[in-house]
Amino acid sequence: MDEQRKTPRRRVLKAATIEFGGGAIDCSVRNISEAGAALDVVTPLFIPDRFTLYVPSDQIKRASRVIWRKEKRIGVSFD
């Protein structure tokens, strides 16, 4: 399968938080690039289409938009 992303992602395993509307959901970042990331979540059902991704270990806080949802993983692009 050919890589179709605009910027290549690097594999990581970092704790992160999905922040929205005064609440937060824990997640894990599985891969990340300047343009987006793949996140592991307990369930993608209650995650809004737009939120802020916070990765405390890297001090990254990015406005994010959900591009796809699978069983326990979501793909996001950064705004």
Does the residue 5 lie in any domain? Answer: no
Does the residue 14 lie in any domain? Answer: yes
- Helix (H, G, I), strand (E, B), or coil: what is residue 34? coil
- Report the pLDDT value the prediction gives residue 1, as an integer from 0 to 100: 40
Mean pLDDT along residues 28-57: 95
**What does the block give as tokens for 48?**
């809004």
**Which of 40, 41, 37 lies closest to 8 in space, CA to CA?**
37
Range of the domain at 26: 10-78
Model pTM score: 0.88
Domain of residue 70, CATH code:
2.40.10.220
Distance in angstroms between the alpha carbons of the first and the last residue of the chain: 26
Does the residue 43 lie in any domain? Answer: yes
Does the residue 67 lie in any domain? Answer: yes
CA distance 62 to 51: 8
Does the residue 3 lie in any domain? Answer: no
Q: Share the mean pLDDT of the chain.
A: 91
Does the residue 4 lie in any domain? Answer: no
Per the structure, the count of domains in the chain is 1
Q: Report pLDDT digits (tens) over 52-61.
A: 999 999 999 9
Does the residue 2 lie in any domain? Answer: no
Residue 17 pLDDT class (50, 70, 90 cuts): very high
**Which of 18, 14, 16, 17 lies closest to 51 in space, CA to CA?**
18
